[in-house]
Amino acid sequence: MFHRLLPIVTLLLCAGSAWSATNQCPDCGTTPVPYPLSTDPACGHQSYKIRCDAGAPIFDTVNNSYPIISIDPSIQRLVIKPAGLLSNTCVTSDMVHQGIQLNSSLPFNVTSSNTIMYLNCTDALLRSPLDCSSTSLCHAFINGTQNAAPCGKAPICCSFRTGGSTTSHMIRVRESGCSAYSSFVNLDPSLPVSRWPEPGLELQWAVPT
């Protein structure tokens, strides 16, 4: 019986692999769009939607959009570019949306590979488990980054590594907490700021069932 079923199982597995390959979406500009990511109702998996806007891949959150910097299908991860600071302020442009907020019903979440710098924070953050000390990595970021210079006037900043339920779907900014943030993937804190990677926030997607 087993020998009779084996060819059928093999055929089904091959058919599933072929379906995934043929159902892969076309490249978005120069960026491949691996299955299950979908830029169109006719390809990919519809729970894994991203957008292709004029040849540039875009990731939509609950109420905002962010450019996709890179996609690595081998580990089911992609990196988005976080919002920048408004000119001559220590406020990120997505504060009006309260930062990055993912739809928790979709198969994407923030990985534990991100180091977050929270900037221009209120003293309420001093009671949090984040590193808001005078030696926090956020001070090196402010002092070593020209665009973040306005944040030097705000005495409280904090840094932390993502992971856990509070940051699995959200990097939040608001007036009662912190009004700005930046994020770095796989940051080596021993390096000078000049050798840090470009800002990015890494997300991962679950394998479709």
Peptide bond into 107 cis (omega under 30): no
Q: What are the pLDDT digits (tens) for 120-156?
A: 999 999 999 999 999 999 999 999 999 999 999 999 9
CA–CA distance, 90 with 153 (Å, rounded to integer): 9
- Given a cut of 60, is residue 4 above it in pLDDT? no
**Residues 25-28: contacts with CB within 8 Å, 24+ apart?**
28/52, 28/55, 28/56, 28/57
pLDDT at position 5 is 44
pLDDT at position 22 is 61
Q: What are the pLDDT digits (tens) for 198-209?
A: 999 999 999 998
Residue appearing with tokens 């944040």 = 151
| Interval 69-88 mean pLDDT | 97
175's torsion region: left (phi>0), alpha (psi -120 to 50) or beta?
Answer: alpha
Q: What are the pLDDT digits (tens) for 161-195?
A: 998 778 899 999 999 999 999 999 999 999 999 99
179's CB contacts (< 8 A; 6+ apart) are 90, 91, 92, 95, 119, 120, 121, 173
Of 85 and 21, the structure prediction assigns the larger pLDDT to 85
Q: What are the pLDDT digits (tens) for 7-64?
A: 444 434 444 444 455 699 999 999 999 999 999 999 999 999 999 999 999 999 999 9
pLDDT at position 209 is 80
pLDDT at position 19 is 46
pLDDT at position 163 is 86
